Amino acid sequence: MQKMTVVQRFSRTFRENPSLAKMLIVFTVRYSLLCGFYRRECSGGGLVAYSEAKSDSGVNIVNSTEAEGKKKRVVVLGTGWAGTSFLKNLKNSSYDVQVISPRNFFAFTPLLPSVTCGTVEPRSIVEPIRNIVKKKNLDIHYWEAECFKIDAENKKVYCRSNLAGDSNEKEEIIVDYDYLVVAMGARSNTFNIPGVAENCHFLKEIEDAQKIRRTIVDCFERASLPNLSDEERKKILHFVVVGGGPTGVEFAAELHDYVNEDLIKLYPKVKEAVKITLLEATDHILNMFDKRITAFAEEKFKRDGIDVKTGAMVVKVSDKDISTKEVKNGGAVSTMPYGMVVWSTGIGTRPVIMDFMKHIGQGNRRVLATDEWLRVEGSDSIYALGDCATINQRRVMEDIWAIFRKADKDNSGTLTVKEFQEVLNDICERYPQVGLYLKNRQMSSLVDLLKDSRGDAVKESSVEVNLEELKSALSQVDSQMKNLPATAQVAAQQGSYLADCFNRMEECEKNPEGPLRFRGEGRHRFHPFRYRHFGQFAPLGGEQTAAQLPGDWVSIGHSTQWLWYSVYASKLVSWRTRALVISDWGRRFIFGRDSSGI
């Protein structure tokens, strides 16, 4: 404190002469330094490091400082992968950013299955959002609240604090925005199957993982109580995992390892009663992966004694048993008692997003749609990214007439190669399915496609097509369109993409860098979002992992597990979480997993 006396003296000077501060602001060269001092004075002490100084405006949003008043207000809903990635990559200080989320931390969700069995501690994979934004020298404020209504018409979001407080406190917060970034994620999808919401565990939040961990240990303790029949013991120790996707498979594998490496040592007499069942409605588990991976996983699970039931659709979950129906063979329904069910079948839209969709005319859709620039269709200043939205890629066929007209500069009614080549890059950028189609058909350019569709091998220069010919050439192109998977990778890339757009908003307003507007004038401000797939892992337990990397490169086994360790360690959000997760892995290797019921 002694060291900061000079600062405190400065502060007092400013406090007593507010005009002095204003005057000094004129010397813009020193602006940021002074701002640091001035704001520090607001917070009433000199202990705050400079890096935090700028996030220190008054709480009452309406009466913010003059400088801030001119700033565009950006409201970010959510602190998951998309929201956090946006915040981490935002560099432009001309925004006043409000982050609103019911969770004051970012969670590294790909390690959630590891948390369920104590391989990694929950706290090792979370980082306070305030810590993340503190490092950035920007106006970013965080409020722990949950948005329950988006009013696109008046550019307001309605939020509610979910913190315990007495009724005197104003729990409802209404926040104005200029730009809204919706990154609220999704909820677990129960498909309205009766009993799922009441009796199943989910695996989306940190709290879910903690609850699963406690339940596993509870099941083992319950099964160890005296005076139970063998049947009851088997029921309690029957763990059912619904959903053969990467999360369900990883959880089943983790659970198998936890049981066999740690729990049976402490609960030897119930060992025989443990059973893990994995239910999958389709024909194979991990069906989004290469067939080699699926086969390896199914074989490994069989060896491990995990009962994989494919083609089994859950129809009901009571508090005691779970009923499944065979998808084929007449659809026989069978019922089995269980001790714990983990539901991991996919995601659904949150109610607040559903409500918002109704208001902006997307009521008949199942998922919130954005354009290729992540802007919500029908709301110019709202962006949506991550699991709460999908990109509604425009079809070439919808715009074929506009494309033709734009390319046909001389209005001749036909396109020459020259004319065509001038818009070629724009077409491929605006409609990535075109590029994909060419790649899959092993053609190098659109001209080949046109030639191909005309069926003759005339010289390039003589290719000239009319609208109908263009239509027929591009007719198959839209079949290449695919929705992006709901993964952390997609969300993070979208967040970083959007931040980049916000960083260069003014610049790109003046010099648009995007493709031609086929249905309008000029160019789009930005390049559209383009996802780059870096591959996907499927940990299978027993220190073995499968990986499918770009170019259909498949790798399975112990070495891939080490690749997994390195990739995940490097991707963690901070050095703190990195150190903690690595030490958690080390602890597990040395001491095994803990089975205390906390």
> Near a copy of itself by CB under 8 A, which window of 167-175, 408-416, 518-526, 532-540?
167-175
Determine if 589 is a binding residue for a copy of itself (CB under 8 A).
no
144 in contact with a copy of itself (CB under 8 A): yes
Is residue 558 near a copy of itself by the rule CB under 8 A?
A: no
Listed ranges 25-33, 322-330, 492-500, 573-581: which one lies at the site for a copy of itself (CB under 8 A) = 573-581
Alpha helices in 455-574 (DSSP H): 467-474, 488-503, 505-510, 558-571
Q: Which of residues 269-288 bind a copy of itself (CB under 8 A)?
A: 269, 271-272
Minimum distance of a copy of itself from residue 517's CB (angstroms) = 40
Binding mask 315-354 for a copy of itself (x = CB under 8 A): ----xx----------------------------------
Q: Does residue 23 bind a copy of itself (CB under 8 A)?
A: no
Decide: is 61 part of the binding site for a copy of itself (CB under 8 A).
Answer: yes
Least CB distance from residue 585 to a copy of itself, whole Å?
A: 13
Tally helices (H) and strands (E) across the chain.
Answer: 24, 26
Check residue 207 for interaction with a copy of itself (CB under 8 A).
Answer: yes
3 binds a copy of itself (CB under 8 A): no
Smaller CB distance to a copy of itself: residue 363 or 586?
A: 586
For residue 227, what are its two tokens?
């005076």
Half-sphere exposure at residue 45, Cβ-oriented, CA atoms within 13 angstroms: 6
Q: DSSP states of 49-109 as a string?
A: -HHHHTT---S-GGG--HHHHTSEEEEEE--SHHHHHHHHH---TTEEEEEEES-SEEE-G
Question: Among 2, 168, 192, 364, which residue interacts with a copy of itself (rule: CB under 8 A)?
Answer: 168
Please tell me the distance from the alpha carbon of residue 401 to that of residue 471, in angstroms, as a whole number.
9
Q: Is 211 in the site for a copy of itself (CB under 8 A)?
A: no
When binding is defined by CB under 8 A, the residue of 13, 33, 44, 69 that contacts a copy of itself is 44
Q: Which stretch binds a copy of itself (CB under 8 A): 403-411, 437-445, 534-542, 571-579?
A: 571-579
Is 55 a residue that touches a copy of itself (CB under 8 A)? yes
Alpha-carbon gap, residue 447 to 415, rounded angstroms? 11
Closest among 196, 204, 442, 445 to 338, alpha carbons compared: 196
Count of chain residues binding a copy of itself (CB under 8 A): 77
Report if residue 29 touches a copy of itself, rule: CB under 8 A: no
Paired tokens of 567: 């990739």
Name which of 446, 426, 424, 425 is nearest 437 in CA terms: 446
Report, in Å, the least distance between residue 557 CB and a copy of itself. 20
Instruction: Tell me which stretch binds a copy of itself (CB under 8 A): 13-21, 41-49, 68-76, 554-562.
Output: 41-49
With CB under 8 A as the contact rule, which of the stretches 68-76, 186-194, 205-213, 503-511 interacts with a copy of itself? 205-213
CB of 34 to a copy of itself, least distance (A): 18
Query: Which residues inside 395-414 make contact with a copy of itself, applying CB under 8 A?
Result: none
Q: Is 69 in the site for a copy of itself (CB under 8 A)?
A: no
Considering the complex, state which of residue 56 and residue 151 has its C-beta at the smaller distance from a copy of itself.
Answer: 56
**Binds a copy of itself (CB under 8 A): choice among 10, 24, 56, 189:** 56
Footprint of a copy of itself on 73-132 (CB under 8 A): 103-105, 121-123, 126-128, 130-131
Asked if residue 217 lies in contact with residue 596, where contact means CB atoms within 8 angstroms, the answer is yes
Paired strand residues for 75: 98, 180
| Candidate ranges 37-45, 88-96, 375-383, 540-548; the one touching a copy of itself (CB under 8 A) | 37-45
CB 267, min distance to a copy of itself, A: 7
What is the b/e burial string over 23-50, where b = at least 16 CB atoms within 10 angstroms of the residue's CB? ebeeeeeeeeebbbbbbbbbeeebebee
By CB under 8 A, residue 594 contacts a copy of itself: yes
- Amino acid (one-letter) located at 301: F
In the bound complex, what is the minimum distance in angstroms from residue 444's beta carbon to a copy of itself? 51
- Shortest reach from residue 123's CB to a copy of itself, in Å: 6
215-244: which residues touch a copy of itself (CB under 8 A)? 217-218, 221-222, 224-228, 232, 236
Tally of CA atoms within 13 A in the half-sphere of 571 that contains its CB: 18
Smallest distance from the beta carbon of 214 to a copy of itself, in angstroms?
Answer: 10
Secondary structure letter of residue 376 according to DSSP:
B
Torsion sign, CA atoms 394, 395, 401, 406: positive
DSSP 250-292: HHHHHHHHIIIIIIHHHSGGGGGG-EEEEEESSSSTTTTS-HH
Q: How far is CA 557 from CA 295, 308, 392, 543, 570, in A?
A: 13, 20, 37, 8, 20
DSSP state of 483: P
> Least distance from C-beta 273 to a copy of itself, angstroms?
10
Task: Tell me how far apart the terminal alpha carbons of the chain are, to the nearest angstrom.
Answer: 40
Residue among 103, 99, 93, 105 at smallest CA distance from 180: 99
**Residues 8, 43, 65, 381: which binds a copy of itself (CB under 8 A)?**
43
Query: Where does residue 120 rank: exposed (0-12), middle (13-18), buried (19+ CB within 10 A)?
Result: buried
Which range, of 259-267, 388-396, 483-491, 522-530, touches a copy of itself by CB under 8 A? 259-267
What is the rounded (10 degree) CA torsion for 47, 53, 55, 61? 90
CA 552 from chain center: how many Å? 23
Residue whose entry in the numeric block shows the structure tokens 């104590």? 118
Q: Does 15 bind a copy of itself (CB under 8 A)?
A: no
The verdict on 169 binding a copy of itself (CB under 8 A) reads yes
